[in-house]
Amino acid sequence: MKKILHKKIVIPAVAIIIFLSTTAFKNDFFEIAKQIEIFTTLFKELNMNYVDDTNPGDLMDTAIKSMLDDLDPYTQFYNEQDVESSRINNAGDYTGIGAKVLTLKDKLVIVEPYKNYAADKAGLKAGDEIIKVDNVIVADFKDDAANLLQGAAGTEVNVTYKRQGKTNSVKIIRESLEIKAVPHYSMIDDKTGYIVLRKFNKKASAETLGALRALKNQGAQQLILDLRGNPGGLLNEAVNVTNIFVPKNQLVVTTKSKVKKYNKTYYTKRDAIDTEIPLVVLIDGRSASASEIVSGALQDMDRAVVVGTRSFGKGLVQRPKPLTYGTQMKITISRYYTPSGRCIQALDYWNRDENGKATRVKKENYNEFKTRNGRPVFDGGGVQPDIEVEFAKQTPITKAILNENLVFNFATDYYYNNTLEDLKGFKFSDTDFKNFKKFLKTTGFNFETKTEKALSEAMTIAEDEELEGIIKSEYHNLSTTIQAYKSNAIDGNKVQLKSLLTDEIIKRYFYSEGLYTYYTANNPEIKKALNVLNNPSEYTSILR
């Protein structure tokens, strides 16, 4: 009797659940089909009847991007050229002129010619402004003009560029270029190895492993892994890099999604190369995604001391989905969590403020987690270093200066007005810094703080409410105080600005290879890492 009663209850319940879930699916499908049909008819009518000629491709591109703008910035649509660029970035191979290029509205700027590759051999320098590629004027090219420089190895491209006010032309023979995940490794002293890992492409773990073995053969007994400026890349490579230093079958990262098949746990699959070597990982505000998986996992396992500044805070995972006509979409499918259970995503793109901007998780809302040894770590805002190098944290004014490429532009002028033959003897002097401040004035540089903007908006509201007379004097006093801060902010950030200027200038003369060599002797974060490694009791106490 109980079995019959159980069946009478369970079977209808299951039927109801199936019916409701099927109905929900049908409703979702109907809504999607309905909206697509509305858009299709609108698109057709617009192209047929609008008073001026329209470009269907441009309209659709705008529509897609506008739709995705309401989501997170990592969910993106890729056209055919974008798909190829993504493939190059992940695979580590590239065919073109061999230079890092910045695409601006009317020109392409050479950011860095790679040593001994095509652009370098043709005489191009950082700061050169490409205005024409073959017969195509860059300012008239609507797509990413950097694609014009790519082509099959051995083919020729004619480049017209401006340098220090003069227009020049040069023919460049394109060639294949291997984009290294590990552009540099060396011994800092007789027992400390240093590895720079710049991106997580398909070769990241193999190159890191090769560098470690080479350094151990040279006598390395302790190691600094530099992830500063590393924007991330392939998740599985982050797991593999972590695996170099931790044993087999250790949890590295978990991904959680509304789609069950994307809920995954990633464990180390191989025997580690070295689970004992003292390790310091360097991170900064540009270390993101896969870099945060590695640094967060090694921190959670108490396997490494993390030094630097708080990382970017990208705890979102993307997956490419092929579309028609060779296009592709990269979709955020899940969030990732470090072994302690924390998600270090910093921005909330789904609960925006009144201006439509993503909100940052407030510090008081961070949740505490524990490392394997019981040390407190927190979610909500990137990986917090065990040892923070305060001066390396970018301030609003240094960000504003960098965003306007003023450090880069000053370094260009410096290069053409100064001779530098000895890397060891270089020092960015106080006189040089005074010249930089003069340079900033000639550019008309001015930046608006968030406080300044908020005050201005408050005054506008006060005027609407006819309260400006009451708060006018207080507003004036606050504005005066902010202006005084801004006028002193350059000197207040002197140490950081001198460091940024030094880095950029050294690259002009000695390429990235020279910069890494300079780092090993002079960089404050590396010096801090060395101090920790050379003090075993401090190293051990941090991890306990």
Q: How many CB atoms lie within 10 A of CB 451?
A: 13
In a 10 Å sphere around its CB, with 0-12 CB exposed, 13-18 middle and 19+ buried, how is residue 235 labelled?
buried
| Residue 318 C-beta-side C-alpha neighbours within 13 Å | 20
SS (H, E, C) 74-114: CCEEECHHHHHHHHHHHHCEEEECCEEEEECCCCEEEEEEC
Handedness of CA 146, 148, 151, 153 (dihedral sign): negative
Question: Can you tell me the distance from the alpha carbon of 273 to that of 179, in angstroms, rounded to the nearest whole number?
Answer: 25
Tell me which residue of 72, 77, 52 sits closest to 359, measured CA to CA.
72
Handedness of CA 517, 521, 522, 526 (dihedral sign): positive
Question: Can you tell me the distance from the alpha carbon of 274 to that of 165, in angstroms, rounded to the nearest whole number?
Answer: 54
Question: Can you tell me the distance from the alpha carbon of 467 to that of 376, in angstroms, rounded to the nearest whole number?
Answer: 48
Question: Can you tell me the distance from the alpha carbon of 13 to that of 11, in angstroms, rounded to the nearest whole number?
Answer: 5
Question: Can you tell me the distance from the alpha carbon of 100 to that of 114, in angstroms, rounded to the nearest whole number?
Answer: 8
Question: Can you tell me the distance from the alpha carbon of 358 to that of 350, in angstroms, rounded to the nearest whole number?
Answer: 7
SS (H, E, C) 268-322: CCCCCCCCCCCEEEEECCCCCCHHHHHHHHHHHCCCCEEEECCCCCCCEEEEEEE
Question: Can you tell me the distance from the alpha carbon of 146 to that of 169, in angstroms, rounded to the nearest whole number?
Answer: 17
Give catalytic residues, as residue numbers.
289, 314
Yes or no: say if 302 and 41 are a contact pair by the CB < 8 Å rule: no
Tell me which residue of 200, 224, 203 sits closest to 212, measured CA to CA.
224
- Return the structure tokens found at 448: 């608006």
| Sequence letter at residue 299 | Q
Question: Can you tell me the distance from the alpha carbon of 194 to that of 226, in angstroms, rounded to the nearest whole number?
Answer: 7
Taking CA atoms, 215 is separated from 188, 221, 250, 491, 521, in Å, by 10, 9, 25, 40, 17
DSSP assignment of 179-212 equals --S--EEEESSSSEEEEE---BSTTHHHHHHHHH
Taking CA atoms, 271 is separated from 48, 297, 393, 535, 544, in Å, by 64, 17, 36, 28, 24
DSSP 8-state code for residue 6 = H
Residues facing residue 137 across a β-bridge: 132
Taking CA atoms, 226 is separated from 135, 182, 207, 230, in Å, by 42, 10, 14, 9
Element (H, E) at 330: strand 328-337
